[in-house]
């Protein structure tokens, strides 16, 4: 584990995942600015923040697919990551095209689906980190993403009580932005994990040297 963690200390990998982290922050800020400039659109069923979330989920599906490509065809790891990519892509399509036609953003008809997704998410995260022997940084990012996901679902559960204090569009905006926070956290963890796998594959010397340096 120490040897794998040391791979994240390589200058090239460190600059890449830091740049990606900055990009995620800028993307989140751009989403906020767009909402502020087009706040009237938040009353539409397909709000602009929904598209921002679906784009982020689409990137997550692509990264999952790329991680799967690092394994042998028909191996358990490749099948897992392919299924994960398909599931995330399905969630992205749901965000953008509103597949089940949600009547209420609170936990009404699709509340059981939200609960099911929340229940199986830690299982998927554990399998992903175990299959890839994920080091501390991506594992911590995945765990943090799940915490944010729980907070987002909790906010979605109690958001009806906020309508008495402000416009419903404010509540919808907060819900969508809270979703983007945990999606981006997962994206950061997936990119760190992908960089580790690429380093193992294309930089074996760096991996071997990190083994020598470990105590």
Q: What is the value of pTM for the model shown?
A: 0.73
Q: Is the pLDDT of residue 113 over 80?
A: no
Per-residue pLDDT tens over the stretch 5-48: 566 667 778 888 899 999 999 999 999 998 888 787 776 656 67
Mean pLDDT (the chain, rounded): 81
Per-residue pLDDT tens over the stretch 135-169: 899 999 999 999 999 988 888 777 666 666 667 77
Q: Which two tokens stand for residue 201?
A: 């594959």
Per-residue pLDDT tens over the stretch 54-77: 999 999 999 999 999 999 888 999
Res 124: pLDDT: 94
201/157 Cα distance (integer angstroms): 44
In degrees and rounded to multiples of 5, residue 44 shows phi and psi of -75, 150
137-144, long-range: CB < 8 A, 24+ apart: 137/5, 137/8, 137/17, 137/189, 137/192, 138/189, 138/190, 138/192, 138/193, 138/196, 139/189, 140/189, 141/185, 141/186, 141/188, 141/189, 141/192, 142/186, 142/189, 144/185
Handedness of CA 22, 80, 99, 167 (dihedral sign): negative
On whether the CB atoms of residues 186 and 64 are closer than 8 A, the answer is: no
Report domain extents, the chain. 2-55+101-213
């Amino acid at each position: 584990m120490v040897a794998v963690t040391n791979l994240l200390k390589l200058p090239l990998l460190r600059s890449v995942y830091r740049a990606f982290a900055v990009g995620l922050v800028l993307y989140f800020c751009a989403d906020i600015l767009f909402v502020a400039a087009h706040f009237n659109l938040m009353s539409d069923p397909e709000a602009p923040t929904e598209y921002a979330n679906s784009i982020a989920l689409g990137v997550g599906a692509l990264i999952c697919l790329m991680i799967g490509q690092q394994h042998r065809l028909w191996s358990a790891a490749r099948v897992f990551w392919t299924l994960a990519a398909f599931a995330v892509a399905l969630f992205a399509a749901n965000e953008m095209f509103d597949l089940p036609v949600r009547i209420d953003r609170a936990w009404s008809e699709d509340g059981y689906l939200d609960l099911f997704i929340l229940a199986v998410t830690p299982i998927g995260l554990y399998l992903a980190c175990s299959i890839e022997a994920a080091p501390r940084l991506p594992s911590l990012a995945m765990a943090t993403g799940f915490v944010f996901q729980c907070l987002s679902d909790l906010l979605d559960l109690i958001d009806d009580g906020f309508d008495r204090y402000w416009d419903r569009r404010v509540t919808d905006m907060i819900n969508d932005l809270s979703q983007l926070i945990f999606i981006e956290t997962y994206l950061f963890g997936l990119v760190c994990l992908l960089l580790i796998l690429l380093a193992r594959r294309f930089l074996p010397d760096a991996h071997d040297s990190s083994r020598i340096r470990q105590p």
